[in-house]
């Protein structure tokens, strides 16, 4: 018989998994490859990205996420390649997800390109039994130490220098993480993503970019993230975002050099959870390597 502590922690972890599923990012527009493989190579340069997110600071067992990705176009054949690693800790669970992305891009007009992508994923899921403190050792729990599950996904991404819209399903296979009498308590469900954004040139020095992300997960409320960012003199970015019925966010960014961009985001919870945490923090670095013949004149805003 498991203790009440075990039941509480497991219920808390399951609640987080159903509410959130895939790791969420406030600044997803700079990290699109995590949810849409068609993004690979779309920036036209070798792009290296690293992000750290601490969610619901002060709440024991809250998510902590780290991700690193690299994506690049392949020379003269419309192909893009990407590799990403996501490390996600929630309560007594720990996941490492390694993904490889391949995209193919075709021009649809003088300004727009349409990219198709596929994603192959390897997931390692670990349940730290020592943090559950069961009254009696449950042998079935040991089956969830470094459990491996594969997955596949796909996406499409229509984009230009000023606009984008994409639809993706990063994981087609529903993977059970923990079963209690053959009922999946912790289960990776299928996530559907729709993203869009547009950059308006307000004048020579100011750009304005509204963007939206919509995520659909069976058994969970529709998640909608809307954001508005302003870029000043191609260097400074200031913006705000709202996650429907969940959080308000503030974002800032700075183009340190032609290749290096740094960004920070802060989330203030708008649900009852705001009484138990001091918000969520997110910081990222993006570094890009340019060839002599493809240096950008002004930074891409996404």
pLDDT in tens, 194-203: 999 999 999 9
Tell me what the pLDDT averaged over the chain comes to: 85
pLDDT tens for residues 145-165?
A: 778 899 999 999 999 999 999
Which pLDDT score is estimated for 297? 46
pLDDT tens for residues 212-247?
A: 999 998 777 889 999 999 999 999 999 999 999 889
Residue with tokens 């995209």: 103
Q: Is 232 helix (H, G, I), strand (E, B) or coil?
A: strand
Asked if the structure places residue 178 within a domain, the reply is yes
Range of the domain at 57: 23-289
CA-angle at 23, arms to 234 and 90, nearest 5°: 130
Asked if the structure places residue 2 within a domain, the reply is no
14 — pLDDT class (breaks 50, 70, 90): very low
CA distance 161 to 175: 37
- Tell me what percent of the residues of the chain surpass a pLDDT of 90: 60
Contacts of 36 (CB under 8 A, 6+ apart): 117, 155, 157, 166, 167, 168, 170, 193, 195
User: How many domains in the chain?
Assistant: 1
Which pLDDT score is estimated for 1? 37
Asked if the structure places residue 36 within a domain, the reply is yes
Asked if the structure places residue 9 within a domain, the reply is no
Q: Please tell me the least confidently modeled range out of 50-59, 99-108, 270-279, 292-301.
A: 292-301
pTM of this prediction exceeds 0.75: yes
Q: Provide the CATH number for the domain around residue 30.
A: 2.40.160.40
CA distance 88 to 65: 5
Which pLDDT score is estimated for 146? 78
């Amino acid at each position: 018989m498991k203790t009440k502590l075990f039941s509480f922690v497991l219920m808390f972890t399951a609640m987080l998994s159903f509410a959130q599923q895939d790791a969420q990012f406030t600044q997803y527009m700079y990290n699109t490859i995590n949810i849409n493989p068609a993004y690979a190579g779309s920036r036209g340069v070798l792009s290296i990205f690293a992000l750290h997110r601490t969610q619901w600071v002060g709440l024991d067992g809250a998510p902590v996420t780290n991700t690193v990705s690299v994506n690049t176009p392949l020379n003269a054949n419309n192909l893009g390649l990407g590799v990403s690693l996501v490390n996600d800790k929630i309560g007594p669970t720990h996941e490492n997800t390694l993904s490889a992305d391949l995209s193919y891009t075709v021009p649809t007009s003088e300004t727009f390109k349409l990219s198709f992508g596929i994603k192959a994923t390897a997931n390692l899921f670990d349940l730290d039994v020592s943090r559950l403190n069961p009254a009696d050792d449950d042998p079935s729990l040991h089956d969830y130490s470094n459990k491996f599950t594969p997955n596949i996904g796909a996406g499409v991404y229509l984009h230009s220098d000023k606009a984008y819209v994409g639809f993706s399903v990063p994981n087609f296979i529903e993977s059970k993480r923990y079963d209690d009498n053959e009922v999946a308590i912790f289960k990776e469900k299928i996530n559907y993503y729709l993203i869009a954004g547009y950059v308006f040139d307000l004048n020579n020095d100011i750009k304005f970019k509204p963007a939206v992300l919509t995520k659909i997960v069976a058994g969970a409320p529709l998640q909608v993230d809307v954001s508005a960012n302003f870029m000043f003199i191609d260097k400074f970015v200031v913006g705000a975002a709202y996650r429907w019925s969940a959080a308000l966010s503030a974002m800032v960014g700075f183009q340190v050099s032609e290749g290096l961009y740094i960004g920070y985001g802060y989330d203030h919870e708008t649900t009852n959870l705001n009484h138990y945490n001091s918000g969520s923090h997110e910081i990222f670095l993006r570094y890009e390597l340019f060839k002599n013949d493809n240096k950008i004149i002004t930074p891409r805003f996404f």
